[in-house]
Structure 1
């Protein structure tokens, strides 16, 4: 018998490392304050504070999407010399209360960027 609950279980935890995000070899973000969002059976998603992105590589687009658990998402394309990743980045500017901690953070499609982890020194 299948049952479905009202919400998938969404957890947020701090990444115990510094995350560097590169697009075509160019660093577009780096932060030691990354949140890892885990939802149902989806792969973990890294949310980087907006203050830790290099805004010159980000261009807001008109693209939007809606998640019943997180709210309305807005998108950015990544632009570096010779390359563009259309709608490669998203953000929830007014997320639902249950995930309010991701407000002022952005997330990246992992097939568009390269993530590098720098472990915290003990």
Structure 2
């Protein structure tokens, strides 16, 4: 029998150069990410809204609840051709105290977006 491992989540400020691309277009670029390390998940890069092309985002009614981070809000992304990719960005407007650093920072699903960190693609479709 495998012992049950405790679920942990940690949000730490980073200085990496993070670039996010969707369909070959840069939609975010930051040197101020907050890295979230969570049991069983790859590192997630939460970016300040000022470093994201928020003019291409459209708020949705979707929400989810994470017992370790709180309630998330979602946005869809509209590319330059008008194509809408639904619920590809999320944020925690009022996160739990343990991960307060991610408040209002935006994170992208790596099933849709390519995540490039310090020049190396670390996640994305086909990665």
Using structure 1 for the length normalisation, give the TM-score.
Answer: 0.87
Could you tell me which runs of 5 or more consecutive residues in structure 1 were left unpaired when the two chains were aligned: none
Higher strand share: 1
Deviations 1:34-80 (A, max 9, x none): 11101111111110111111111110000000001111000000111
Aligned mates of 2:36, 2:5 — CA distance in 1: 21
Write the mapping of 1:41-80 to structure 2, written as runs, cut at 5 A: 41-80=40-79
Could you tell me which runs of 5 or more consecutive residues in structure 2 were left unpaired when the two chains were aligned: 120-127
Which residue does the alignment assign to 1:37? 36
SS of alignment partner, residue 118 of structure 2: strand
Note the aligned Cα RMSD (angstroms). 1.6
Write the mapping of 1:16-35 to structure 2, written as runs, cut at 5 A: 16-35=15-34
Aligned residue-pair number? 117
Using structure 2 for the length normalisation, give the TM-score.
Answer: 0.84
Which residue does the alignment assign to 1:84? 84
Deviations 1:64-106 (A, max 9, x none): 0000111100000011123322100000000011111100201
